[in-house]
Amino acid sequence: MDIDRHGHRLTVALAIMLGILFALSLLTGPAHLSLRDVANALVSDDGAASIIVRDIRLPRTLLAIFIGATFGLAGSSMQGLLRNPLAEPSLFGAPQAAAAASAATMAFGLANALSIIVPISGIIGALLSVGALVAIAGRHASLTVTLLAGLALASLAGAAIALILNLAPNPYIALEITFWLLGSLRDRSMTHVWLAAPFMAVSWILLLSNARAFRLLTLGEDAAASLGVNIARTRLLVVIGSALGIGAAVSVAGSISFIGLIAPHLVRRFYGFDPARILIPSALAGASLLVASDIVVRLISGAVEIKIGVVTALIGVPFFLAMIFRERRLLEDVSQ
């Protein structure tokens, strides 16, 4: 009962925090706007304020929420499927494939980094990676075979990115691709939101539909199968759902690391380590982390904006160090 009460309170607190961060994100930027100015700009045509809020700040804030939620949900789903707290969405190669396809589009003159063609090609790359994964591993492959196929595709996509940078027609394009790969939400429009949001929504539906399966998988695959879980179907839905969401996220924002790994760990202990109950809290935590990171980017940036992927990586490293020291302390206590 205490776990249920604490978990419910945390979910509500995360939702409230996300709402506060949403408002702060709309208030943050070089142009000073009051809360009233922002509210008026959202509901009426208020000249310059409406352009700043609706065309510049709102799209990047919505993308931060959607992308962060997708990473958090995909991360908790992967950890529930694999029963491994170190699992993350990039295991099956979709983010790398999306990045490679987008990089190729930029490298060979088909579009610049802000063109809508870039996210379209990234989404196509992610979908192709899912198709390749299913074709290589098979629909009823074991988890080990699926992981090996995913790692092979991820390595291939990483090599493709390196080859693209090597073959780029001039160093300026290579530099543009490198900066894009670091991750950014700057200069994104509502077109990017409408392009990526449907894929993320489908991803959420597919992943949340497996909540019961994740709970039963804590008993082991054999026990879960005896209780009615279709292991192969669950695995396929998680792979497709993660690839659709993360591929769409990477295609519009570049590479953003650690959110899918950190978010589930932040909330897990408050829900009794139940993988089914941490799905939505992980999504809320991931969205809050990415919106907060984007606010930090805008507050500390000068002439050149710091890439949000760099900020999330800097957050992730201390988090892992804290995990290592906590685990070491627990082992020392047990040994004594």
> How many residues appear in the chain?
336
- Higher pLDDT, residue 183 or 138: 183
Report yes or no: 208 and 37 within 8 Å, Cβ to Cβ. Answer: no
- Which pLDDT band, with edges at 50, 70 and 90, does 313 fall under? confident
Residue 303 confidence (pLDDT): 65
Alpha-carbon gap, residue 149 to 135, rounded angstroms: 10
The per-residue pLDDT for range 17-46, each reduced to its tens digit, is 999 999 999 998 888 888 888 888 888 876
The per-residue pLDDT for range 231-249, each reduced to its tens digit, is 888 888 888 888 888 888 9
Find the helix packing angle between 190-208 and 58-82, rounded to 10°: 20
Report yes or no: 61 and 25 within 8 Å, Cβ to Cβ. Answer: yes
In total, how many domains does the chain have?
Answer: 1
The answer on pLDDT for 143 being more than 80 is no
Domain that holds residue 196: 2-335
Which residue carries 């991931």 as its tokens?
286
The per-residue pLDDT for range 45-104, each reduced to its tens digit, is 767 888 888 888 999 999 999 999 999 999 999 888 888 777 787 877 888 888 898 888
Most confident residue range from 124-133, 149-158, 228-237, 286-295: 286-295
Enter the tokens of residue 102.
């987008």
Alpha-carbon gap, residue 32 to 109, rounded angstroms: 37
Residue 45 confidence (pLDDT): 79
Q: What is the CATH number of the domain that holds 176?
A: 1.10.3470.10
